[in-house]
Amino acid sequence: MIVNTAAYHFTAIAEPQALADAVRERAQALALKGSVLVAPEGINLFLAGAQDDIEAFYDWLRADARLQAIRVKYSHSQAMPFARLKVKVKPEIISFRREDASPLVAPRAPAVAPEVLLRWLRQGHDDAGRRVVMLDTRNRQEVEHGTFAGALTLPITSFTELPQALAEHRDALADATVVSFCTGGIRCEKAALWMRADGMDNVLQLDGGILGYFEAVGGEGYEGRCFVFDERVALDAQLRPLRDAAA
């Protein structure tokens, strides 16, 4: 059984290349595969391997005080979903190119826990009686595999296109509680931060993204699967892969 992980953490990294080199060395020693991005703003990881090796890697990573609080989301497959290990240094761990969306400058955007969101979806409004609009911050390819029922989706191919695509919807969202979401939380965190800095103070982020929602409460309110960028293609609400060559 292969353990698949998705994790990110925003924190100041003064020497991204040094961290990337250390991560590569440790992951290679443990025979892990996947992709890791390191940037001055933090780290973003998608890694898979044997359970003991995965646990050893994240124990090692958390020994770095900057990364002690990193949250990891887990799923399983019979087959290894990655062909190799890739570790790169980038300007951002998710490219958005907006200075007013830096998690290192502003406080973290307010988040809603999966359990609370599920209650809101069931009752049709938030705890203040405002209607809830789910805002999908992923691209159109991902949305085709599934999204929250009734979610506002945008015709984008890249995360950097979100601000322009959202512009025509802003007035219609003024009376709602907007919950931004993505696969694992990183894009919806940046999007919520930017929207609030741009005057949309009614925006929250879904803590942990879709995968965190599946892990915590299952798939109620979500239609279809969640696209992932590896050979599994997409996961259902039980975090089972659409494709699993060894199954």
Tokens standing for 50? 């044997």
Q: Which amino acid is at 205?
A: Q
**What does the pLDDT read at residue 107?**
86
Residues 224 and 103 in one domain: yes
* pLDDT tens-digit profile, the chain (247 residues): 999 999 999 999 999 999 999 999 999 999 999 999 999 999 999 999 999 999 999 999 999 999 999 999 999 999 999 999 999 999 999 999 988 888 998 889 999 999 999 999 999 999 999 999 999 999 999 999 999 999 999 999 999 999 999 999 999 999 999 999 999 999 999 999 999 999 999 999 999 999 999 999 999 999 999 999 999 999 999 999 999 965 4
In a domain, 243, yes or no: no
**What does the pLDDT read at residue 246?**
58
- Catalytic residue list: 182
Tokens standing for 141? 């390819």
Secondary structure letter of residue 134 according to DSSP: E
* pTM > 0.75: yes or no: yes
**What does the pLDDT read at residue 105?**
86
The boundaries of the domain holding residue 77 are: 2-89
In a domain, 245, yes or no: no
Domain of 38: which CATH number? 3.30.70.100
Residues 83 and 109 in one domain: no
Task: Enumerate residues 6+ apart whose C-beta is below 8 A from 60.
Answer: 26
**What does the pLDDT read at residue 101?**
85
In a domain, 94, yes or no: no
Residues 186 and 118 in one domain: yes
Residues 108 and 220 in one domain: yes
Domain of 153: which CATH number? 3.40.250.10
**What does the pLDDT read at residue 71?**
96
Residues 47 and 104 in one domain: no
Q: Beta-carbon neighbour count of residue 106 at 10 Å?
A: 13
Residues 80 and 8 in one domain: yes
In a domain, 246, yes or no: no
Q: Which amino acid is at 25?
A: E
Residues 40 and 82 in one domain: yes
